């Protein structure tokens, strides 16, 4: 896992683009997600906090060294940090923040980020600002969605330490470059007062790219009728390329037991913003739109011409999905 730490100083960072948090849902914190850098355009010196097991730290540091605009890398290696348990991480992060006098801590709005930041806020007695989609007024104010994304709120905080979670899909991803030689500082893991322990990770394995980083997303709703029918969506995703495409679902499909909840996209699921989002048999409830409406191109396929999904779609097709999807897969395959 990586967290971004920085101080408000007069010295400007040459590259103003900042690196966000990397986290994973598997034993090795480094393997499951790519590293993202976000364009926040702030004039602060940036340090990166990297934690994990002793066998993963070196790999994470090697990856972080490929990104510009960083002052230093702070590491904490411990067997207790090998798996994403929020209490261990927040206790160690508190020690890092206080000992280095950081005034801002930034993590991504992921399940783990939303676990760690409230714990850290409680330990430091500050209020985290979550799900930030834009940083304005040189870091003094923050824009975040409310009411399932139907309104935007501009917020500020009088806390001396600002703790933020960032919605990564709203910021530009920066490709890795050549390796740098940032100084690496090590801090000891803080295990005192930890009120729990990690037991196990339950992870759904897939050959496809992770939903949050997919270039294309094919998503199914209640109109799929059952979980077995999701195989036609997987076939379409395979044609589009496993390395670029992922399959998701609406809450209705998850609640009906068609697919596991780690595939859910929406207000209470994952937020995605791919280049192409194909909504299949999805009505377009406001909770679902909150998780995908920032997609660059939205294609809706639904037999109901009054479905709300058509109001946000760039392209819509009113037809039987069980006829359209197999035909679409064949057409794309023929063009390859």
Q: What residue numbers does the annotated binding site for FAD cover?
A: 222, 250-251, 264-268, 281-288, 302
Strand duo 141-146 + 134-136: pairing: antiparallel
Distances (CA, A) of 58 to 1, 30, 50, 53, 89: 12, 10, 10, 10, 18
Q: Which segments are annotated as binding site? A: 222, 250-251, 264-268, 281-288, 302
* CA pair distance 271, 294, nearest whole angstrom: 9
* CA pair distance 319, 278, nearest whole angstrom: 14
Which residues contact residue 175 at a Cβ distance below 8 angstroms, ignoring those fewer than 6 apart?
Answer: none
The alpha carbon of 192 is separated from its chain's Cα centroid by a whole number of angstroms, namely: 29
CB 23 within 8 A of CB 84: yes
Looking at residue 110, what DSSP letter applies?
S
* CA pair distance 129, 30, nearest whole angstrom: 26
- Residue 261 pairs in a beta bridge with none
């Amino acid at each position: 896992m990586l967290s971004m730490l920085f101080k408000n100083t007069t010295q400007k960072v040459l590259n103003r683009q900042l690196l966000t948090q990397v986290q994973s849902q598997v034993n090795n914190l480094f393997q499951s997600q790519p590293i993202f850098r976000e364009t926040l355009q702030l004039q602060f010196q940036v340090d990166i906090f990297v934690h994990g097991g002793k066998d993963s730290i070196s790999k994470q540091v090697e990856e972080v060294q490929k990104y510009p605009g960083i002052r230093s890398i702070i590491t904490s290696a411990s067997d207790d940090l090998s798996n994403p348990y929020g209490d261990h991480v927040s206790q160690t992060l508190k020690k890092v923040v206080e000992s280095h006098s950081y005034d801002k801590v930034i993590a991504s709005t992921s399940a783990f980020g939303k676990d760690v930041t409230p714990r850290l806020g409680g330990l430091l007695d500050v209020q985290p600002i979550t799900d930030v989609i834009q940083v304005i007024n040189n870091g003094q104010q923050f824009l975040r969605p409310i009411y399932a994304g139907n309104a935007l709120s501009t917020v500020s905080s009088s806390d001396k330490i600002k703790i933020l979670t960032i919605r990564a899909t709203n910021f530009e991803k920066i490709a890795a470059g050549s390796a740098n030689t940032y100084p690496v500082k090590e801090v000891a893991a803080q295990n005192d007062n930890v009120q729990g322990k990690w037991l196990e990770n339950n992870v759904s394995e897939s050959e496809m790219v992770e939903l949050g980083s997919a270039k294309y997303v094919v998503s199914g709703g209640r109109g799929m009728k059952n979980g077995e029918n999701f195989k036609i969506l997987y076939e379409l995703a395979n044609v589009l390329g496993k390395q670029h495409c992922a399959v998701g679902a609406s809450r209705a499909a998850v609640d009906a037991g068609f697919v596991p909840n780690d595939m859910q996209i929406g207000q209470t699921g994952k937020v995605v913003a791919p280049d192409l989002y194909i909504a299949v048999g999805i009505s377009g409830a406001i909770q679902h739109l909150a998780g995908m409406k920032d997609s660059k191109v939205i294609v809706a396929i639904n037999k109901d011409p009054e479905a709300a999904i058509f109001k946000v779609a760039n392209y819509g097709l009113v037809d039987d999905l069980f006829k359209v999807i197999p035909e679409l897969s064949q057409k794309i395959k023929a063009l390859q």
